[in-house]
Chains A and B, each alone.
Chain A
Amino acid sequence: MGLARVFVPLLLFVFGLYAVAPAAEAPTRTDYVVQLERICKPRTEATRRAVRGVQEDVRSEHLSRAAPKVARAKRIFAKTVSLIGGVPRPEADLAKLARWFSALHRESKALEATVDALRDDNIPRFQRVWADFIHQANKANNVVVAFGFNYCSFKSSRFR
């Protein structure tokens, strides 16, 4: 009776662990990409809408007019990074994804600096920080090139 009192809960605990194990299992790379793309796609579309007209604003040197549009894109970007950061990552890619998320945070900071430069109507600073943003975006893309992301990688042609 005493043994049963110890073993039954133990067995239940062990079987319970087995039962929940598949749910807690890290996803495969393919599953991970599918999950992230599902998050990124609508947010990329929202970014595209947010930056509409920015090209003309900058070309006509109305930087402050472009600032709220890019600020909106920046908020969408930061939220996207936070959402995809919460998705469980494949075990084999943990190190690579950690580097990717670091690069995405640097990209986010560069975008924030871009918004500040636009708000201040500061063309020389805007030129510098925008270049830094593109550089950071390329670096981030290169880290996860093997994943074959579409919407979760930065493609400037999408926002033309």
Chain B
Amino acid sequence: MRRLPPCLLVLAVLGVAFAAADGAPAEQSGGAGVRVTFKGSISPKYLPRHRSVPIKVNLSGSVHSSDGSPLPPMQRLEIGFGARGALDAGGLPTCSPRRLRNATRRQALARCRSSLVGRGEIVAEVPVNRDRPLLVRPRVYAFNGRSNGRRAIWLHAYAPSPPVSFVLPLYLRRLDGAFGIQIESPVRRALGSWPRLRSFEITLGRRYRADHRPRSYLSARCPLPPSFTIGIAPIARATYLFAPRPTLTVTIQRGCRVRR
């Protein structure tokens, strides 16, 4: 399988320098009665300057009404990340979304455990009653997949009560510029016209062996100048596209550290 080439750290504003904003609050954006948040982090906190090491990326976001009116449906969610790293799924088995559809959590794991690349949680709102919408909180597993020759991640969501099981596709593509990888998810097509995505939290990353050597689904480095120990850069950008509007973009900046 093809390895997505590494993209070097692209530094913001002053290029270098920043203390880690690890405990930073989520960045926000708003407009047309909607407020969105986005937050992200990379672990481990300390990375080498010159060679990439396995990492995990945690991304989370939420959608709120800023004036109390019902939320418009989210059409699509796009997340750019990988500014200073690479995604490598070479030798990692893929799973088909057909094997995940209508599966419980246990069934999904039994069928596709070898392609597991992450986990998290989704909160969706079903407006059966305008004043008290039904909230569903399925836990999700992320599985490595392919769709029409493109790399993809299948988010399998399952909650026993109220019973919910669906697959949210995340299509991956390479980006030029500040972010190396873009995830695109047709949220509305996957969830249907009723449920509204309220929040998500997902951690991606996996170490595995392929061709008799250790590999990592995600890897990164922190290429700072010699005298710097901390660099702050835009690590991810989320674009929430609602129908018919608004389109809201949030970019988050976080620090990477190197040991002296």
Contact = CB atoms under 8 A, between A and B. Distances in A.
Contacts, number: 97
A145 interface: yes
A87 to B, nearest CB: 20
Contacts of B226: 61
A141 interface: yes
B30 interface: yes
Interface residues of B, number: 35
Interface stretch (A9-17, A37-45, A101-109, A132-140): A132-140
Given A138-B25, A141-B27, A141-B28, A160 B227 contact: no
B182 interface: no
Nearest to B230: A127
A61 B255 CA distance: 18
B30 A55 contact: no
Contacts of B134: none
Nearest to B31: A148
Contacts of B193: none
A146 B15 contact: no
Contacts of B29: 145
Contact of A127 (B10, B13, B17): B17
B120 to A, nearest CB: 23
B251 A130 contact: no
B66 interface: yes
A61 B25 contact: no
A60 B225 contact: yes
Instruction: Specify the main secondary structure of chain B where it touches its partner.
Output: loop
Interface string B84-100: 00000000000000000
B164 interface: no
Between B16, B20, B32, B178, the greatest number of chain A beta carbons within 10 A of the residue's beta carbon is seen for B16
Contacts of B30: 145-148
Given A131-B230, A145-B28, A58 B16 contact: yes
B228 A134 contact: no
A98 interface: no
A149 to B, nearest CB: 9
A156 B253 CA distance: 9
A42 B60 CA distance: 34
A110 B149 CA distance: 49
A130 B232 contact: yes
Interface of B: 10-21, 24-25, 27-32, 35, 66-67, 178, 225-230, 232, 234, 251, 253, 255
Given A135-B24, A159-B12, 10 more contacts: A54-B13, A55-B16, A56-B15, A58-B16, A59-B11, A60-B225, A127-B19, A130-B14, A145-B28, A160-B12
